[in-house]
Amino acid sequence: MNEELSVSEDVSENDDTRALKEFLLDIDCLNPLDEWADHFNLFDVLGIARTEIRHSNVLGWLLNPNENHGLGDAVVRGFLTYIATAGYDSVDIFDALLLDCQDFTVWREWRSIDILVVSAKERYVMCIENKIGTSEHDDQLNRYRRIVESQYPQYRHAYIYLSPNGVAPSDPQHWCAMSYRVVLDIIEVAKTKNRLLPDVELLIDNYIETIRRDVVGDERLEQICEEIYSKHRRALDLIYEHRPDKASSLTAIIRAWAEQRDSAGQIILDRSKCNKTYTRFTTPGMTAALPNANEPNSAWSTRNHYFYEVVNNEGERFNSWISLSHKGADAALLSRFESLFKHASSYPNRANWAYHVPFSTADCIVDEEMSEDEIFQELDKQLEKLMKFEARIAPLVIEDTR
Q: Of 101-105, 194-198, 344-348, where does the model show the most confidence?
A: 344-348
**Nearest C-alpha neighbor of 191 from the set 211, 174, 171, 176:** 211
Task: Name the pTM for this structure.
Answer: 0.49
Task: Report which of residues 31 and 309 the model is more confident about.
Answer: 309
Please tell me the distance from the alpha carbon of residue 222 to that of residue 21, in angstroms, as a whole number. Answer: 24
145-154, 208-217, 249-258: lowest mean pLDDT where?
A: 208-217
Mind listing the pLDDT tens digit for each residue in 88-122?
655 566 776 777 788 899 999 888 899 999 999 98
pLDDT band at 244 (very low <50, low <70, confident <90, very high): low
Mind listing the pLDDT tens digit for each residue in 329-338?
999 999 999 9
Please tell me the distance from the alpha carbon of residue 309 to that of residue 156, in angstroms, as a whole number. Answer: 44
21-35, 105-119, 216-230, 267-281: lowest mean pLDDT where?
A: 216-230
Amino acid found at 70: G
Q: What is the pLDDT of residue 138?
A: 67
Q: Is the Cβ–Cβ distance between 357 and 321 less than 8 Å?
A: yes
289-293, 368-372, 380-384: lowest mean pLDDT where?
A: 368-372
Give the burial class of 232: count Cβ atoms within 10 A of its Cβ; 0-12 exposed, 13-18 middle, 19 or more buried: buried
Find all residues with CB under 8 Å of 163, minimum gap 6, and list them: 131, 132, 177, 178, 179, 180
Q: For 348, phi and psi rounded to 5 degrees?
A: -60, 155
Neighbouring CB atoms inside 10 A of 15's CB total 11
Q: What region does 314 belong to: left with phi over 0, alpha with psi -120 to 50, or beta?
A: left
Residue 272 has pLDDT above 80, yes or no: yes
Which is it for strands 317-325 and 355-360: parallel, antiparallel or unpaired?
antiparallel
Tell me 321's DSSP state: E
Cα 86-87-88 angle, rounded to 5 deg: 95
Neighbouring CB atoms inside 10 A of 11's CB total 10
Average pLDDT (357-386) is 93
Residue 360 has pLDDT above 80, yes or no: yes
Q: What is the pLDDT of residue 319?
A: 95
Tell me 98's DSSP state: H
Neighbouring CB atoms inside 10 A of 41's CB total 17
Q: What is the pLDDT of residue 33?
A: 59
Q: What is the pLDDT of residue 134?
A: 67
Average pLDDT (226-231) is 74
Q: What is the pLDDT of residue 232?
A: 74
User: How many angstroms separate the Cα of 290 from the Cα of each of 216, 302, 396?
Assistant: 44, 13, 12
Which is it for strands 317-325 and 278-282: parallel, antiparallel or unpaired?
unpaired
Mind listing the pLDDT tens digit for each residue in 36-61?
555 655 555 455 545 556 778 888 89
Average pLDDT (192-198) is 85
What's the half-sphere exposure (Cβ side, CA atoms, 13 Å) at 308? Answer: 24
Please tell me the distance from the alpha carbon of residue 370 to that of residue 365, in angstroms, as a whole number. Answer: 9
Residue 5 has pLDDT above 50, yes or no: no
The pLDDT mean for the chain works out to 84
Please tell me the distance from the alpha carbon of residue 271 to that of residue 275, in angstroms, as a whole number. Answer: 8
